[in-house]
Chains A and B, each alone.
Chain A
């Protein structure tokens, strides 16, 4: 009985989303990216880490056999870019998941319960926000052995603060709405009110922030890898691929350019989808 209504609502949201052509383009790009990331083993013509005769195969310009050229170890850039997609996307998604969960929890608690708890939590957030993210990232990673798991965790732990502010603001607004008062008058407990009445009405900006955040996270991961603190070679990540081509940019432009373009298009795609989602999910339209 309930799912029919939800499906109808989902269909309406989709209809609104569909009207933004750029959002659809972004969505198509993401689907493409995810697809290639998942199918990388099948699509990649070469093993991304395979090195054959280095002298013969290195620094080859884009050609039919190597559509994106080879790097200084003779590895096929195209294959590495495909595998790099897996790394970047999974780190992006997982890190955002951590950030959203943490940010929503803290923001909701601060906004809903208010008082001293709110003050303490929000001052903590302000403190953390006063550090530039990159500095935080570098410091945290430098404390331990860099690895994909560490990078993901650290990206998540440094990205939740903005979300918590957004969530807190929304919770403060929703908390005053009459249907929340109605829930109180009906004798519902605070946990139920927070979980079933306040949070579902707060999620819209969170979803939008999350989608836009994936783009930022991918960029941050690229920056870390560029600095050598992220994904370690020989594992291919777009960031360390850009880094490795740094010295040869004039002669072997393809080593930096293709992974760089991949980053650009991915981030753009997520931003377009995020914008489209913001309009499609806007609760004001629902009324």
Chain B
């Protein structure tokens, strides 16, 4: 697959998507075909050792994007490349290798573990399928993996239901680490956890990144959590990326109206910090009413129905705004900003 040299040649890009689109055709009850575009023209790159966050509300397409990047579903158009090699044209052996390099951690700590397998059985299976440890070595490696995520060796003999949500999440992380990946796609990994456990798992993910040199694609809807983990952030709305930049800039100077409304909507624990650098929307932009997004807006800006940008006008409905690079590394899809 090329190893480190290949990715360096590639500019340190490990995993990238170019022009990804995914449409679903659903036939209505009486045969009328409806095409839903879950993801439209998404391009992004995950670099070695960095965390890219993909944020958006439900239905924005972030989870589908993750599935496309993992090769779980074929894109309707566009390509996914790992270390420069197109997923769609990989041989079976290459794909198996890819599966080692890019792993997934799930949101739901309850459904993501097989209830009928012990933790040790689960981890052992991974090691065996990928021939990562000889039979005699497996026990030791399992203990090592459990230790990496902060669990003791006795956990190997237990079933998932005997653990708490946070512990199950750790097991899921251990399973992903078992194949020694480069990239971990974390799909809402802490959304289902209590705040105190969330902190533990976030810290764990951070430690693992430093220790093992991992890259993360971190998918979430909670902007405060994302602030804690992300180097770069991409905001999605209705299947498209509407803004992308490095984290600090996005939080302090958000450009796209949707990003601004997302940030404004996050309830903040009291007291407000002295230097409030993240702007809150004032009384001039009350939240738009729900139900105002028409489902198929074929022309113009998809955010138009909810947009409260002061300069918004008819020009916005003429054509779909392009994702443009305003300054190096800062991309926005809006003609008014």
Enumerate chain A interface residues (CB-CB to B < 8 A).
Answer: 1-2, 4-5, 9, 177-179, 181-188, 192, 196-197, 200-201, 283, 286-287
Contact = CB atoms under 8 A, between A and B. Distances in A.
Interface in B86-103: 95-96, 99-100, 103
Interface string B104-147: 10101011111111101100011001100000000100000000
A6 to B, nearest CB: 8
B115 A287 contact: yes
A177 B110 CA distance: 10
A178 B72 CA distance: 12
B99 A286 contact: no
Interface stretch (B157-165, B217-225, B238-246): B157-165
A181 B95 CA distance: 16
B170 interface: no
Contact of A185 (B72, B115, B118, B156): B72
A287 B70 CA distance: 29
Nearest to B108: A178
B233 interface: no
Contacts of A182: 104, 106, 112-113, 172, 175
Contacts of A200: 114, 116-117
B255 interface: no
A197 B114 contact: yes
A265 to B, nearest CB: 34
Contacts of B104: 181-182, 185
Nearest to B114: A179
Contacts, number: 74
A283 B172 CA distance: 20
A176 to B, nearest CB: 9
A124 to B, nearest CB: 25
B106 A178 contact: yes
B72 A181 contact: yes
B157 A287 contact: no
A187 B96 CA distance: 6
B179 interface: yes
A286 B129 CA distance: 28
A201 B116 contact: yes
Contacts of B100: 187
A171 to B, nearest CB: 14
Contacts of B172: 182
Contacts of B130: 187
B161 A287 contact: yes
- Chain A binding surface, main DSSP class: helix
Given A179-B113, A179-B115, A200-B117, 17 more contacts: A1-B157, A2-B121, A2-B157, A9-B159, A178-B106, A178-B111, A178-B112, A179-B114, A181-B106, A185-B72, A186-B129, A186-B175, A187-B96, A187-B130, A201-B114, A286-B159, A287-B161
Contacts of B120: 1-2
A286 B103 CA distance: 27
Contacts of B95: 187
A179 B118 contact: no
A182 B125 CA distance: 12
B111 A286 contact: no
A197 B129 CA distance: 14
Q: Which of A5, A181, A183, A185 has the most CB of B within 10 A?
A: A185
Contact of B129 (A9, A184, A192): A192
Contact of B111 (A5, A177, A196): A177
A183 B122 CA distance: 10
Nearest to A3: B157
A5 B96 contact: no
A185 B99 contact: yes
A179 B99 contact: no
Contacts of B158: 5
A15 to B, nearest CB: 15
Contacts of A177: 111
19 contacts: A1-B139, A2-B118, A2-B120, A2-B121, A2-B157, A5-B157, A9-B159, A178-B106, A178-B108, A185-B104, A186-B99, A186-B126, A186-B129, A187-B96, A187-B100, A187-B129, A196-B117, A200-B114, A200-B117
B103 A185 contact: yes
Contact of B157 (A4, A179, A186): A4
A184 B96 contact: no
Interface in B141-185: 156-159, 161, 172, 175, 179
B323 to A, nearest CB: 28
B116 A186 contact: no
Contacts of A179: 111-115
A5 B130 CA distance: 25
A177 B114 CA distance: 9
A187 B115 CA distance: 19
Contacts of A2: 118, 120-121, 157
Contacts of A187: 95-96, 99-100, 129-130, 179
B112 A186 contact: no
A283 B114 CA distance: 11
A57 B104 CA distance: 78
A286 B111 CA distance: 12
Contacts of B72: 181, 184-185
A262 B121 CA distance: 45
Nearest to B97: A187
Contacts of B106: 178, 181-182
